[in-house]
Structure 1
Amino acid sequence: MHDLKAIADRVEIDALRGDFTDSALTRDWDRFAALFTVDGMWRIPGAAEFFSREEIRAGIERLQGNWEFFVQANHQGTVSIEGDLAVGRVYVSEFGRFHDGRSHRNFSVYHDRYLRTPDGWRFTERVYEVKYVDSSPLTGAPPVPVS
């Protein structure tokens, strides 16, 4: 990993994974979908599967619409690069509360495939695997804005 190009690729892929979380939490659905190739796949086994940018864009908006609040944090993962293709994993912790009052907390891993495109690295496939889930009520709440 002494090659500067390899280091730059890893930094760009890490930024891609960060942009995924940031665009979801800021509700920037167009930016979220643009992180995937045109025929990219996003799979949440047992919950949802999306097979194009258009489906991903509609899917993230629909899924996020279920939450009163939602927080996701990425944790260090792995990446292996071969030319213009790469595979990796990133670890995720999430919590939030649905509009119906149910709470949710989980620890998961994304299994990723990436492609270098003229616009930079993009996801070709992102598959979510839940490692731990907790549905006990969250006792906190988002802060109330001060006027």
Structure 2
Amino acid sequence: MMHDYDRFASLFTADGAWRMPEIPLEFVGREEIRTAVERLQGNWEFFVQTVHPGAVRIEGDTAAGRAHVAEFGRMRDGSSHLNYVLCHDRYRRTPDGWRFTERVYEIRYVDTTPLPGTAPRPVGAS
């Protein structure tokens, strides 16, 4: 995504929802989702997320699926996170392609052990 917040929000239907019950956070509609992802990413010094596809069931113009996610990173406050997540997804076919109508982010494992490594700085950054 590389800070393309509009693109992230466009992956959802206009009335789509992104829910994180354990945190607890919930965002409904593209504008709330866009604002949320920008704010949330602003908290990270660095963040790496790997998505592993799971099963998807298609029924006409709707579908349901899940994805397994491994993510780690360090927050700007120095805290670290290693999370394993199961995403429960619902999709709808639109004229622009398949979009999320709902993504429920279920945290299955969290490790807050400090990450001792460093993130490389972009060329030209001070």
TM-score over 0.5 (shorter chain): yes
Alignment of 1:1-147 (within 5 A): 23=1, 26-45=2-21, 46-145=23-122
CA distance in structure 2 between the aligned counterparts of 1:134 and 1:39, rounded to whole angstroms: 33
User: What TM-score results when the alignment is normalised by the length of structure 2?
Assistant: 0.94
Structure (1 or 2) with the greater strand fraction: 2
Q: Which has the higher contact order (CA 8 A, sep 6+)?
A: 2
CA root-mean-square deviation: 1.1
SS for the counterpart of 1:31 is: helix
The unaligned stretches of length 5 or more in structure 1 are: 1-22
Aligned length: 123
TM-score w.r.t. the length of structure 1 is 0.81
- Unmatched 5+ stretches in structure 2: none
Higher helix share: 1
In the alignment, the residues of structure 1 paired with residue 106 and residue 10 of structure 2 have an alpha-carbon distance, to the nearest angstrom, of 22
Q: Supply the distance in 1 between the matched residues of 2:24 and 2:11 (Cα, whole angstroms).
A: 21
Residue 13 of structure 1 corresponds to which residue in structure 2?
Answer: none
SS where residue 3 of structure 2 aligns? coil
Aligned sequence identity (%): 64
Structure 2 distance, partners of 1:67, 1:142, is 11
Write the distance in 2 (CA, Å) between the matches of 1:47 and 1:65. 18
2: CA distance, partners of 1:47 / 1:72: 20
Partners of 2:123 and 2:16 in 1: CA distance:
41
- How far the C-alpha of 1:146 sits from its partner, in A, is 5.6
